[in-house]
Structure 1
C-alpha cells in the first residue's frame, strides 16, 4: 500500500480508545511485553536511579496513554500532558475524572507494583498520576508554534513515547519537532524518547496509519543537531512478526539538552 494513502494520527478516523485497548491494555496482546513492559521497565530503572529528576515533567506521547506516567509521578511533582488531537484530549480527561467507560490501566499498574516489589494497591498508582497532572494542552501540528496561545515553562524532563514519528510527515518536520521539544527543556534537562526504528505504519480498525521511517543513524544526527547529547540508547529487536505494525527495533534514548539551537 502506498504510504501516501495512510491515515494520520490527527485524522478523524483515529480512535483513541481503540488504540489504547488494542495495543496497551490487553494483557493477552502478543506485543504487550514490547510495547508496555519494555518501556515501563526502562523508565522504572531511569527514575528509581534518580538519573533523571526534577519538579515538572512534560509528556508528549501517543494517544490518551497512562502507563508511562506511573513511574514519573513518583519523581515529578507536576506533569503537563501535551496531546495532538481533541479526541485524545477528551479521552484522557475522561480517565482523569474516572468517567464510566474509559480505558482501564490495571495491567500496567499491577505490573509496576510487582516491578517495584511493593504491595501498594494499583489504584493508588493511578490516582497518584491523576493528582500529578496539572494541565492538558493541545499541540496543533498545523502551527509553527504548536502550543500557541499557551506558554509553558521550561522543565527538567520531556517524556515522549511513540509520538514524534507519528506526527512528523517528513524528516525535516521530525527535526523541527525535536527542536520544539528542546525548547521546553532547561539546559541540562532530559528528553526521554521511545521510538520504533524503520517503522512505516500501524493498524487501527480498518485503516493503516502513517509512521515516519528512519534508522538509528538519522536519530542520532537529528538529536545532535537539535542540541542534545545522547547519554544512553537502548535497542530492543522486534521479537514477533505482526501485520498490525512493522518496526525493526524499539529504541529508548536518554538525551540531555546541552545547548540552545
Structure 2
C-alpha cells in the first residue's frame, strides 16, 4: 500500500484509547519490552543520573500516554502536556481526574517501580503525575504557530515520545517540528526524543497510519540543524514480533539545545 494513502495521526478517525490499550497497556503485546520497557529504562537512567533536571517539563507524546511522565514527576515541579487531537486531550483529562474508564497504566507504573526497587509505590507514582501536570494544550499541526493563541515559557526539558515521526508528513516537516520543539526550550535545556527508524506504518484497529521513513544519519543532521547537540543516542534493533508496526530500529536521543535557530 502506498504510504501516502495511510491515515495520519491527527485524523478524526484516530482512536486514542485504542492506541494506548494496544501498544502501552497490554502486557501481552509482543513488543511490550520495546514500547514500554525500553523507554522506562532509558528515562529512569537519564533522570536518576542527574544529567537532566529543572523545574518545568513539556511533554509532546503519542495519544493520552502518561507512563513517560512517571520518572519525570520525581524531578520536575511542573509538567505541561501538549497533544495533537481533541479525542486524546479528552482521554488524558479523564485520566487526570482519575476516571476509572480510562486506560490502565498499572503495568508500566509497576515496571518502573521494579526498576527503582519499590513495587508497592506504583499508585503513588500515578497520583504524583496527576498533581504535577498543570496544563494540557493543543498543538495544531496545520498552523505555523501550532500553539496559538497559547504562549508558553521556555522550559528545562521537552520529552517527545513516539510522535515526531507520526505527525511529520515529510522530512522537511520533521525538521520544522524539531525547530518548533527547540523554541520551547531554554538554551542548555534538553530534548529527550524517542522514535522509530525506517518505519512506514503502525496499526490502530483496522486502520493503517503513516510513519515517516528516515535513518540515523538524517536524524543526526536534522537535530544539528535545529540547534541541538547530541549528548547521547541509543539505537536498538526491533525484534519485529508482530505486524502492527514495521520500524527497523528504536532510537532514544538526549539532545541539548545549544543555540536559537
Please say whether Structure 1 and Structure 2 have the same fold, judged by a TM-score greater than 0.5: yes
1:207 is matched with 207
1:248 aligned partner:
248
Q: Could you state the TM-score of these two structures normalised by the residue count of structure 1?
A: 0.99
C-alpha distance in structure 1 between counterparts of 2:224 and 2:91, whole Å: 35
Unaligned runs of 5+ in 1: none
| 1:72 lines up with 2:75 in the alignment | no
The Cα shift of 1:36 comes to: 0.3
For the residue of structure 2 that corresponds to 1:143, the secondary structure is: coil
Q: CA offsets, 1:41-83, max 9 Å, x none?
A: 0000000011100000000001100111000000000000000
Q: How does 1:91-240 map to 2 (within 5 A)?
A: 91-240=91-240
CA apart distance, 1:4? 1.4
CA-CA distance at 1:240 after TM superposition? 3.1
Residue 119 of structure 1: how far off its partner (Å): 4.6
**Whole-angstrom CA distance in 2 between matches of 1:186 and 1:55:** 12
What is the rounded CA distance, in whole Å, between the counterparts of 1:111 and 1:11 in structure 2? 32
Once the two structures are TM-superposed, the CA of residue 134 in structure 1 deviates from its matched residue by: 0.2
Q: CA deviation at 1:120?
A: 4.0
The alpha carbon displacement at 1:5 in A equals 1.1
SS class of match (2:156): strand
Deviations 1:1-25 (A, max 9, x none): 0111100101011100010101000
Aligned length: 261
Q: Does 1:89 align with 2:93?
A: no
Q: Give the equivalent residue in structure 1 for 2:258.
A: 258
Supply the distance in 2 between the matched residues of 1:198 and 1:119 (Cα, whole angstroms). 36
- Structure 2: any 5+ residue segments left out of the alignment? none
Q: Distance in 1 between matches of 2:35 and 2:102?
A: 20
Inter-partner Cα distance in structure 2 for 1:119 and 1:31: 22
Matches of 1:98 and 1:214, distance apart in 2: 38
Q: List 4+ stretches of structure 1 deviating above 4 A.
A: none
SS at match of 1:121: helix
For 1:26 and 1:119, the matched residues in 2 are separated by 18
Preserved CA contact (<8 Å) 2:30 2:241: no
Deviations 1:206-228 (A, max 9, x none): 11000111000000000000000
TM-score (norm 2): 0.99
User: Contact 2:110/2:119 (CA < 8 Å) preserved in 1?
Assistant: no
Equivalent in the alignment of 1:52: 52
**2: CA distance between counterparts of 1:51 and 1:129?**
21
